[in-house]
Amino acid sequence: MSRPSRRLLPLALLLAAAAPLAAAGPARPNILLVLADNWGWPHAGALGDPVARTPVFDRIAREGIVFEHAFCPVPSCSPTRSSLLTGRAAHQLADAASLWSRFDRSLVVFTDLLARGGYDVGFTGKGWSPGNFRDSGWPHNPVGPEHADLAAFLRARDRSRPFFFWLGNTDTARHRWRYDPADHAGLDASRLVIPPQFPDDPVTRATLLAYYASVGRMDAAVGEDLARLEAAGLLEDTVVIYTSDNGWQMPRGLANCYDTGTRVPFAVRWGRRLTAGKVRPEFISLTDLAPTFLELAGLPVQPEMTGRGFADLILNRPDAVRRDAVFLERERHANVRRGDLSYPVRGIRTRDHLYLWNLRSDRWPAGDPELYHSVGPYGDVDLSPLKDLLVQGGARPDLAPFRAWALERRPAEELYDLRTDPHQLRNLAGDPAHAEARRELRERVERWMRETRDPRADPAHDAWDAYPYFGPPARPEGGARKAAPARR
């Protein structure tokens, strides 16, 4: 997953090296990155979900490649976007490893490298967000200049240059879910599968249907932009990557390093350059996108990038590097623990196992049971009827296991055998029969932390607790209800 950290080369030297390479190479592709907001695996028709309506994603999958083991590096919006932009492990990025953070102007982003290497760059919707980039001196969002939409960018661009465009769709964000049954027309509620970490309750079903309706709206909006590219004769020369920044915004999803928070749909299309309908089993991380985009553009990859480009995998080259795991991490998501405390996690996901190391397991993983600053009680779980059901359901014994999975404290180590427990609900870290797997995976995580100079390699390091948080406090009408008594 990682390479040892090396001294950062001056940006001017990188760009000077890039210029002759870009000029001498073949025609470079346009690149369209479709980055959804909180859309999780496997919620697409092409991925086997019986309810999701995603004909556009399904087309990309059918005419291109699906990566079935794609993960975000951090189950949180702005930290993943930080790693995506820089191609670096989040723990190397100081404040930018946390939600509602700063984004230091000294960080080198692939969009700047593309722009100075000959690309027109722009974005619409959600770029690097949420957070504060202006106080660090950025003239615009670190993603690049903002445009009203893709059509406006296409009108304004220099047609003599290839382009990179970031399409930041937010239809799947929780604040855009609609609970009106009329909005769910076309969804087959009878085929709804209730994940085992949720109670089979009418509230659960209503929340899931609101989410699935938002997935359909997202896909339809993306389809309009693909139609624009096709009508302009640009689609066949454009690498289209359609994915999400992290898992869904449900309890035990967003802000959690389980698959429900980190595994994302991922499909790529590039006209006739790719083998249509191929499914790749290799592991990739969204951190890998920065070096991949530079590879596709014929530009040098920044030595400090810990991500690995996978252009060779896309092009099915026999010497492509194949990875068997991804590393996961998180720091402070929302500011929901007294003292502004983070909840640091480091982990690794392989084909057979998920191993998580909760570095401050005395803290509440979902946030304090009482409102501290943001969101509400257990504030790392965003507001929804399903969350309300769990938070307020302390008097219902049937909800006890679901509350525990989503809200209660966790041990220092978690180990899940995905061959028998794909939903990651039975922690085997203390089982002697799995001691060897736990030891090997822990060693891999510790080695990765050392190689990438993770400050958390020092057990006493807690600097993330002190970084400024720019998110708003909870509003009285925002659902900051009193929590049920917590077990301490």
Same domain, 258 and 159: yes
User: How confident is the model over 145-197, as pLDDT tens digits?
Assistant: 999 999 999 999 999 999 999 999 999 999 999 999 999 988 999 999 999 99
- pLDDT tops 70 at residue 22: no
Q: What percent of the chain has pLDDT over 70?
A: 92
pLDDT band at 19 (very low <50, low <70, confident <90, very high): very low
Q: Which residues pair with 165 in a beta bridge?
A: 32, 122
Residue 235 and residue 353 in one domain: no
Q: Distance between CA 80 and CA 168 in Å, rounded?
A: 13
Contact 155, 59 (CB under 8 A): no
Name which of 94-103, 154-163, 193-202, 476-485 the model is least confident about: 476-485
Q: Which of 140, 93, 114 is nearest to 11 (CA)?
A: 114
CATH of the domain at 65: 3.40.720.10
Last residue of a domain, one of 304, 324, 344: 324
Nearest alpha carbon to residue 268 among 218, 309, 315, 221 = 315
Residue 376 Cα to chain centre, angstroms: 23
Q: Tell whether 310 and 360 lie within a shared domain.
A: no
**CB contact burial 182-202 (16+ within 10 A = b; e otherwise):** ebbeebeeeeeeeeebbbebe
Gyration radius (Cα) of the chain, Å: 22
pLDDT digits (tens, 9 = 90+) for 279-301: 999 999 999 999 999 999 999 99
pLDDT for the residue numbered 318: 86
**Banded pLDDT at 38 (limits 50, 70, 90):** very high
Whether 286 and 412 map to the same domain: the answer is no
Domain range enclosing 337: 328-467
Residues in the chain: 488
Tokens representing 395 are 């008097």
Are 148 and 294 found together in one domain? yes
In degrees to the nearest 10, what's the CA dihedral of 430, 431, 437, 441?
A: -10
129 in any annotated domain: yes
State the residue for tokens 């990739």: 284
pLDDT at residue 3 is higher than 50: no
Q: How confident is the model at residue 319 (pLDDT cuts 50, 70, 90)?
A: confident
342 lies in the same domain as 300: no
Q: Are residues 130 and 98 in the same domain?
A: yes
Pick the closest to residue 219 from 384, 39, 67, 352 (CA basis): 39
Residue 346 tokens, joined: 């480091």
Kindly report which listed range (84-93, 372-381, 433-442, 474-483) carries the lowest average pLDDT score: 474-483
Does residue 478 lie in a domain region? no
Q: Is 270 a domain residue?
A: yes
Quickly state the pLDDT bin for 476 (edges 50, 70, 90): low
Q: Which amino acid is at 473?
A: P
Report yes or no on 55 lying in a domain.
yes
User: Using omega within 30 degrees of 0 as the cis cutoff, is the peptide bond preceding 75 cis?
Assistant: no
Whether residue 416 sits in one domain with residue 386: yes
Same domain, 268 and 314: yes
Residue 424: partners with Cβ closer than 8 Å, 6 or more residues away: 258, 259, 354, 416, 418
pLDDT at residue 14 above 80? no
- The first and second tokens of residue 229, run together, are 């590219």
Same structural domain, 427 and 364: yes
Angstrom distance (rounded) from CA 295 to CA 239 = 12
Whether 227 maps to a domain, the answer reads yes
- Nearest alpha-carbon partner for 143 in 102, 114, 173, 100: 114
In a domain, 21, yes or no: yes
CB 279 within 8 A of CB 46: no
Tell me the pTM: 0.92
CA distances to 25, 342, 454, 459, 460 from 463, in Å: 44, 9, 12, 11, 9
Query: What is the predicted pLDDT for the residue at 461?
Result: 97
Residue 477 is assigned to a structural domain of this protein: no
Are the C-beta atoms of residues 163 and 157 closer than 8 Å to each other? yes
What are the tens digits of pLDDT across the range 188-200? 999 999 999 999 9
Distance of CA 367 to the CA centre of its chain: 20
Of 307, 324, 341, the residue that ends a domain is 324
Helix axes 77-86, 289-296, angle to 10 degrees: 40
In a domain? residue 267:
yes
| Minimum mean pLDDT range among 66-75, 107-116, 389-398 | 389-398
* Number of domains making up the chain: 2
Whether residues 332 and 320 fall in one domain: no
pLDDT at 320: 87
| Chain segment 403-447, per-residue pLDDT in tens | 999 999 999 999 999 999 999 999 999 999 999 999 999 999 999
Distances (CA, A) of 451 to 88, 91, 292, 413, 448: 12, 12, 21, 21, 5
- Whether residue 349 is found in the same domain as residue 313: no
∠154-56-310 over CA atoms, to 5°? 75
